[in-house]
Amino acid sequence: MTPSSTAVDVRMACRTGKLTGPTPGLARGFVQANLVMLPAEWAYDFLLFCQWNPKPCPLLAVTDTGGFEARAVAAGSDLRTDLPGYRVFFHGDCIDEPADVRDYWRDDLVTFLIGCSFTFENALLEAGLPVRHIETNRNVPMYRTSIDCKPAGRFAGPMVVSMRPMLPEQAIRATAICSRFPLAHGAPIHFGDAAALGIADLNRPDYGDAVEFRPGEVPVFWACGVTPQAVLMQAKPPFAITHKPGHMFLTDLRDSELRS
């Protein structure tokens, strides 16, 4: 698997067990997606949650109940096998991290595919803007905030944000660029004072790795696709499956198709 592989290459490598590692940088230019599988009885509340919280949860696709092909965005795919890693939750607790979920599959599951920051990071890199965690080979730093998502049925919880240090003029260009990708978290939600989001220490992210700041840089915060996982853990549905963080689903959509 290389940056020049296609999305189909990556899905097939997952399906045949050849790829079990994270997907950043693979099949460059194809849209990667967060995955959430829920019993149909919970699907309405989750769909409404995504509707009210489009910045952390921009919906790319929803399967029919019991369907495991993401027809609209990846013809011929099998959502049970085509990701390199999954997380299986019972009542909000992660009980397994398997490489496929055929053994856990149930006919009442609905799968939600949610846009991912990799799409806008590619656009930032192409514009010559810094993406520090990529430059320094780390995972993006992510923080639980004091901002509540808009609740929907049984789903509620704090917004999780990702953070990238930038000079103010870079943050302004990044805002203009990311505004054009509403299905990949869109424009930043905040910059500057981390305490305004309830973040006590930028050096201690809740997920991912801390990154360095250079002179003049301020933190810039984007709504993050980890939000639905945090909300799932809080709502504790009896059963749920997600992707393993960083181990995303490769769609056949091109990043440029997501540009508004």
Chain residues binding its own copies by CB under 8 A are 43-44, 47-48, 50-51, 59, 62, 64, 153
Q: Which residues contact 134 (CB under 8 A, 6 or more apart)?
A: 24, 121, 125
Pick the closer one to its own copies by CB: 52 or 193.
52
List, as one string, the DSSP characters of 72-88.
Answer: TTSTT--TTTSSS-EEE
User: Which residue has tokens 């369907």?
Assistant: 67
Pick the closer one to its own copies by CB: 93 or 107.
107
Pick the closer one to its own copies by CB: 49 or 143.
49
Give min distance, CB of 150 to its own copies, in A.
Answer: 8
Give min distance, CB of 225 to its own copies, in A.
Answer: 17
Q: How far, in Å, are 54, 134, 231 from residue 225 at the CA level?
A: 10, 17, 11
Q: What is the largest CA-CA distance in the chain?
A: 54
Pick the closer one to its own copies by CB: 86 or 120.
120
Give min distance, CB of 206 to its own copies, in A.
Answer: 29
Q: What gap in Å lies between CA 159 and CA 53, rounded to an integer?
A: 9
Give min distance, CB of 209 to its own copies, in A.
Answer: 33
